Chain A
Amino acid sequence: MNALARLGRTGLAFFERLGRGHVFLAQMLYGLPSMLLRPRLVVQQIYSVGVLSLLIIAVSGLFVGMVLGLQGYNTLSDFGAAESLGVMVALTLVRELGPVVAALLYGGRAGSALTAEIGLMKATEQLSGMEMMAVDPVRRVIVPRFLAGMIVMPLLAAIFSAIGVYGGYFVGVGLLGVDEGAFWSQMQANVDLHEDILNGVIKSVVFGVVVTWIAVFEGYDCVPTSEGVSRATTRTVVHSALAVLGLDFVLTALMFGDV
């Protein structure tokens, strides 16, 4: 009976939290238009979530692209289809790895920082202090970060994919001797602007919204102690990674599958 009660309590707590998260999302969306009047706040946040994540995204993109070039070449050349390397690298990056890996890295780099920052602001009563100064902390602190995440994520994913394609090009054409013309022409013939690239961008926007939402909510909702903040930071990384991978499946099924 005790175990059953505990299960019930955990379930209730889970749904309560889920509900709070959605109310919070609604609050943020409601506050979005106010950012038109305060673009400076958003610019500042684009710096801290975007510009500071650029290096890790660029370097990871390069290496992932290079690995794809290497592995793809080994597999494709068995079928005599090494010319399709460009297609394989580009489609893998644009459809999947670009949005997904960029979102995972963004969650680890920027998401955790957002949670920690907001959590610390809560723990040191800065949010409460703002409220007492008649400044809505959701609009002043949360919404700019949320919006910045929405803007930054597709850009990071695009940078990741573009650099990755060149990484694959470097390994495939530069090192392994795939024909340069075939590499690009096959890629261009088979990668569709609408079907592949636009869908990839849509994915990354969705990931940006979800990861940033999780990050700011965990920070805002955390237990305002140093332990609470560190737990919330861990939760951000874990939950955002799970959310990205799970959502990726759903979005892929909707976009590319015949489901």
Chain B
Amino acid sequence: MKQSTTLEILVGLFVAIGLAALFVLAMKVSNITALNDENGYEITANFENVGGLKVRSPVSVSGVRIGRVSDIHYDIERFEAVVTLKIGRDYRLPTDTSASIFTSGLLGEQYISLEPGGSEENLQDGDRLKLTQSALVMEQIIGRVLFNKASEGVEK
């Protein structure tokens, strides 16, 4: 029991180091500063095809990340995919903003790129984006090219 103070100091030090490590992981390694889940508003967009888009995929404007995809589901009445986007509170977007699904790099992940329009009014929580462009699916592109080639061949 004589060395109990030393022991306590060492344990305190150990716990402090452990918490510091967690802090480093949170602050330095992860994107805690980028976006806070709680702050923001949600808008929806309908797509014919979302391709490889996933929940948590980034949402960006002019290449700046301003939010993320929070939900993807299928609308059984309109036969379309409904994607919910969570946008950071500080980012205002006009009502006629359009959304497209792009791929970052050749093999990279897919993300939603927003293109702001010229409207005076801003999108509110729960609004729906009307202008959307679906993801490019590789097979469709290849199929279209082959079809064009084939039809060219017939014309000749």
Contact = CB atoms under 8 A, between A and B. Distances in A.
Interface string A53-74: 0100000000000000000000
Interface string B46-65: 00000000001000000001
Interface majority SS (helix, strand, loop, mixed), chain A: helix
Interface stretch (B17-25, B72-80, B131-139): B17-25
26 contacts: A43-B8, A46-B11, A47-B11, A50-B11, A54-B14, A54-B17, A90-B29, A94-B25, A94-B29, A151-B15, A155-B18, A156-B18, A158-B21, A159-B21, A162-B21, A162-B22, A188-B28, A188-B33, A189-B31, A193-B32, A194-B37, A195-B56, A196-B30, A197-B25, A197-B26, A197-B30
A159 to B, nearest CB: 4
A184 interface: yes
Q: Which of B10, B15, B19, B31 has the most CB of A within 10 A?
A: B31
Contacts of B28: 165, 184, 188
A188 B18 contact: no
Interface in A20-70: 40, 43-44, 46-47, 50-51, 54
Contacts, number: 87
B7 interface: yes
Interface in A131-169: 151-152, 154-156, 158-159, 161-163, 165
Interface residues of B, number: 27
Contacts of A189: 31, 34, 65
Interface residues of A, number: 34
A167 to B, nearest CB: 13
Contacts of B10: 47, 51
A189 B22 CA distance: 18
A158 B22 contact: yes
